[in-house]
Chains A and B, each alone.
Chain A
Amino acid sequence: MVALLGRGNQLITLDDVSKRYPNGTDALRDVDLEIDSGDFVFLVGSSGAGKSSLIRLLIREELPSSGRVWVDGQDVVRMKHSAVPKLRRRVGVVFQDFKLLPRKTVAENVGFALLVTGHSGEEAREETERALALVGLSQRRAHFPDQLSGGEKQRTAIARALVSRPKILIADEPTGNLDPVTSWEIIKLLVRVNELGTTLLMATHNAEIVNALRRRVVHLDHGMVVRDEREGQYAA
């Protein structure tokens, strides 16, 4: 069984994963989860249900207390520290608070992801233009984050996550800081990114969006997977 894990169509596999923090909080308990290449998965649950902990395990910001995690065929738990940067280049991440650098322009924020991973300036420029075109921000490339709307900031963050052409895009509450109309713009963009072949895992509280899209829904409650439905709703 173990030998087959991560070698089929699964891009993400969690096998009996638990995470207990030093303060005694059980963030995740016995989680089994498989996400296939090309999936669009909503990760739902109340605050503190374990969504962010699960995401941190996938990019190895944290290690599980027990269990195994595979991402794109790689054992995330046992990989060497030096292999972590390469893992993160294959997994793009978008956050609720955008995490943009205020003194860099839109294009610089996006290109930064390539420059710091050793790509040439020319390569970074080309890929940045491609990513900005995909998110519809080519006209805003020279603007600074404080000159952008919330939706534009999030689209910049998405462009930065996509610029290194990752296989997986993880979005942690990407619409949490946005109004309903802008939220829908972002969701449409993410659906498009998924249609172009990128696997999408999105943690959200937004019931309207989850119910409208009818994609796979994984529901976490107190660190456990309590529901996993192919065409799910926010609440059962």
Chain B
Amino acid sequence: MATTAAQGFWRNPVMSLASTFTIGLMLLLFAFFLATDRGLQAAVNVLESKVELALFLEDGARVSDVLDLRARIEADPAVSRVDYITKEQAMARLVDIAAKRPDIQIVDTSENPLQASLEVKLARAQDAPRVTAALREEIGKGVVSDVVDNPQVVDKLLTITRVLSFGGLAVLAMMLIVALFVIVNTIRIAVHARRDEIEIMKLVGATDWFVRWPFILEGMLVGALGAVAATAVVLVAAGPVMSAMVNFIEILPLSFGQTFVWQLVGSVFALALAVGGGGAMLSVRAHLAK
């Protein structure tokens, strides 16, 4: 059966190689999409873990009120952690920062103008606008004087991720349809070349599955060869591309481990076999239904 599939592949080399090339290209895009998605996901995770809101407290706020507010904020499932920074701790931080930066000089520490604050860490960046809005309502009630957030970076990153995800998925879907179309036609030609054999097989009582298998294997062979080509390109290009990506977003501790590479190769082969075999099945099914 495998021999029949290989014979089918070489009986029409131009069409078989064209479908191998198309599938390979689709898989390459798929691999690139997976890697980019993984990178962006990592970037989002890193930035999300840094999403903070700061609630500056009135100097005259009572400690019991502050602790009460803190407990309420902590009760929100979107919040992962709340830290209470006293005026003294705020000053200590400023002194620390100043020590590292020659452009800042603290001349007089007799009076502490800094406010105490609650630093709120969020579990998910998407919740930042809602939590911020809720906390802003506390301003003017005697405890909170101001709420500071810095949503732009996260917002931008989330938008980029969404656009790339949807755009990538759309391009991938189109490539998938093209690849299926090419494979269906390649197998249709293979089926046509063997139509007499198929007719006799059916006449003498071969089951539909017996007729289908060699073609499905041929489709899977085309898919597997496309996967080999795509994997080869990915492995050659992976080093330079990834270091470029890591340089590009250098602030992020990105790394694509060995596990991810195997996952990538596994996914590429799984998709290749599914598209190759599935396309062939569609093609033969249409013929058998005649």
Contact = CB atoms under 8 A, between A and B. Distances in A.
Nearest to B196: A101
Contact of A99 (B203, B206, B210): B203
B202 interface: yes
Nearest to B199: A99
A101 B200 contact: yes
Interface of A is mostly: helix
Contacts of B208: 81, 85
B205 A117 contact: yes
Contact of B204 (A81, A82, A116): A116
A78 interface: no
A165 interface: no
A89 interface: yes
B14 interface: no
Contact of A101 (B197, B202, B206, B210): B197
A125 B201 CA distance: 18
A87 B206 CA distance: 11
Contacts, number: 44
Interface string A111-126: 0110011100000000
A88 B197 contact: no
A112 B204 contact: yes
A112 B205 CA distance: 11
Nearest to A95: B203
Given A116-B210, A118-B210, A99 B205 contact: no
Contacts of B109: none
Q: Nearest 4 A-B pairs (CB), nearest first?
A: A89-B205, A88-B205, A116-B206, A113-B204
6 contacts: A85-B202, A88-B204, A99-B203, A101-B197, A118-B210, A164-B204
B196 A85 contact: no
A99 B204 contact: no
A59 interface: yes
A116 B203 contact: no
